[in-house]
Amino acid sequence: MSTLHETAARLPGPDELRSHLRALAVLDATIGDDPEYCCYTFDADWAPGEEAALMDNGSGDDFSVLFTPAGVLIRGFDHESRMSPYATDDEEVWPGVIDEVPAALSPLLDEPAFFEEGVDVPRVTTCLWRTTGDTEWRTGSDIDFPPGVDDPDGSAYLFHLLTDRSPEAVQSHFEDYYERPIPLDAVRHVLAGRPLTAAVTAALGPDDRESASS
């Protein structure tokens, strides 16, 4: 069984995580030809003093990583998870998932964007956090995961590009999503935090982008 405890051990520190999420958003926006279909986005002005990295695969699964002065909160939702509020009789967040979120970060879970209309609990199956000054990622310490499921909270599935940040893993993801080859050198360039050049943009962009400019 893989759970968020394994995920927490494989996540980088907040600064590296922010840079990686920014790079994923840049790659998605550059590789795709329509912002509406980008899974990864980054909002540097989410709220005063807050930044948000967001993933939405368009199939009912999403996550948010909120960077704030008080720390970082990671919320994920796997719509097929048995730990989904919608899979329980009382439509409540699975016990233990968010119970221990520190008071400095817990208000972030009240963001309206994380709720479904008519449901009074946040859309969450997995949650991690790290307060400013802390040295490791925290999770609920007393979660009774449903048995017989390899990834009960969806954390391995949702955060696979955050735990395996290799250029090869990122290349494979975008090739699967966009169903075309993506040059590894260009992926490495963006993940390294280097500025986009015309050559890298052309290498990553859709084929019709080149033909349109010729």
Task: Dump pLDDT digits (tens) for 54-64.
Answer: 999 999 999 99
- Angstrom distances, CA of residue 189 to CA of 33, 149, 154, 209, 214: 20, 37, 30, 20, 25
Q: Which helix (H) or strand (E) covers residue 129, if one does?
A: strand 126-131
Identify whether the C-beta of residue 8 lies closer than 8 Å to the C-beta of residue 128: yes
- pLDDT reported for residue 85: 92
- What backbone torsions phi and psi does residue 44 show, to the nearest 5 degrees? -75, -10
Q: How much is the pLDDT for 10?
A: 96
209: pLDDT confidence band, cut at 50, 70 and 90?
very low
Q: What pLDDT does residue 206 have?
A: 85
Rounded mean pLDDT of 98-124? 92
Give pLDDT, residue 1: 67
> Measured at the alpha carbon of residue 109, what is the angle toward residues 67 and 54, in degrees to the nearest 5?
50
pLDDT of 90: 83
The answer on pLDDT for 213 being more than 50 is no
Statement: residue 191 has pLDDT above 60: yes
The pLDDT, as a whole number, for residue 53 is 98
| Mean per-residue pLDDT, 198-212 | 76
pLDDT for the residue numbered 146: 92
- Residues paired with 47 in a beta bridge: 50
Residue whose token pair is 């925290």 = 138
Q: Is the dihedral of CA 165, 170, 171, 176 positive or negative?
A: positive
- Per-residue pLDDT, averaged over 150-178, amounts to 97
Question: How large is the C-alpha radius of gyration of the chain?
Answer: 18
Number of Cβ atoms within 10 Å of the Cβ of 63:
24
